[in-house]
Amino acid sequence: MRTLEVKDIVVHYGLVEALHGVSFRIDAGRIVALIGSNGAGKSTTLKALMGLKKLTSGSLMLDGHRIDGTHSAQRVGMGIALSPEGRRLFPRMSVWENLMVGAHTVGSAARRSQSLDLVYELFPRVKERCQQMAGSLSGGEQQMVAIGRAMMSSPQILMLDEPSLGIAPKIVSEIAQAIRRLNQETGISVILVEQNARLALKMSDDAYVFEQGLVIRSGSGQELLNDVFVQKAFLGI
Ligand code: ATP
C-alpha cells in the first residue's frame, strides 16, 4: 500500500504561479476529496502528482521516497493513475481498445485480464458495450470507460478529475457506488477532484479545500460537511 505526501508544492504555467505551496497527504486505502471553485488549482495538483506538470519547488514523497523527479510513465509503474477531466477517450476506437490503452505498460497478460475483470465487475455497462465505439456511448458511460482505463494499470492510487461533470444524476450515483466499492474491496486509495462538493465530501475519508492555488481548509469529509465556511461557499447552505 502507498502513502503519498505532497509537501509545499509550487507549480507554474509560464510566468503564472498556479500553486503557491500546496501540502496534503493521502494515506493508504483512503478516499481523499479535493474541492474548490474553478481555477483553484485542483487539476494542476493532479497533473503534478501524475508527473504531467513539473514542480517549481516542493516535493512528492511516496512511501517516504522522493518521486518528483520521475516521469509520468514511471509513476504509472509506481501505482499512480489518472482519469483526466473531460475523459479524453479515443472516440473511434472500441471501448475494449480504449481500456487496453490504459494497460499498455502492463507486461503480464494475466494482470491485464484481472484488471479487465474488475472493471467489468464494477461497471457492467462497460462490459455490455465493450465492442461499441467509445464515441457512441453516453457521457456517463464514457466516464465509466475513462475510470476503467485508469484502473487497467492496476494502480494503488487512483486519481479522478471531475467524474460527475455533465453526467445525469442517476449515473453519477452509479459511478459513486462503484468508486466506493473499488476502495472498500481492493483497498485502492482514491483522490477525487469534484465541483460537486457535497458528493465528494460524503464519499471521502479526508478532504482538502483549495482556493487560489492554496489549501485553505482540511478535515474529514464529515467535518467539512459541518463546517460553516464550506457550507456557505460550496454547499449553498
Ligand atoms: P477547474 O475545475 O476549472 O479545472 P481547478 O481547480 O482544477 O479548476 P486548475 O485547472 O488547476 O484549477 O487551474 C489553476 C490555475 O492555473 C488557474 O488560474 C488556471 O487559469 C491556470 N491554468 C490551468 N491550466 C493552464 C494552462 N494550460 N495554461 C495557463 N494557465 C493554466
Q: What is the pLDDT of residues 222-231, one digit of tens each?
A: 999 999 999 9
Interface TM-score (ipTM) > 0.90: yes
| pLDDT in the model for residue 23 | 97
CB 64 within 8 A of CB 1: no
The CATH superfamily holding the domain 4-234 is: P-loop containing nucleotide triphosphate hydrolases (3.40.50.300)
Q: Whose CA is nearest to atom 28 of ligand 1?
A: 13
pTM of the full structure: 0.94
**For the chain, percent of residues with pLDDT exceeding 70:** 100
Of 9, 10, 13, 17, the residue with max ligand 1 atoms within 8 A of its CB, to mutate for a pocket test, comes to: 13
Q: Tell me if 166 CB under 6 Å of ligand 1.
A: no
* CA 118–ligand 1 middle distance (angstroms): 33
Run of H or E residues at 193: strand 189-194
Which has the higher per-residue pLDDT, 102 or 129? 129
* CA 41–ligand 1 middle distance (angstroms): 6
Average predicted confidence (pLDDT) for the chain = 94
Q: Tell me if 116 CB under 6 Å of ligand 1.
A: no
CA atoms within 13 A on the CB side of 22: 30
Give the separation between CA 12 and CA 18, rounded to whole angstroms.
5
| pLDDT in the model for residue 10 | 98
Give 83-96 pLDDT, tens digit per residue: 988 778 988 999 99
Q: Tell me if 86 CB under 6 Å of ligand 1.
A: no
Give the separation between CA 32 and CA 21, rounded to whole angstroms.
19
Average pLDDT (175-189) is 95
Give 106's DSSP letter: -
On the question of pLDDT at 57 being above 90, the answer is yes
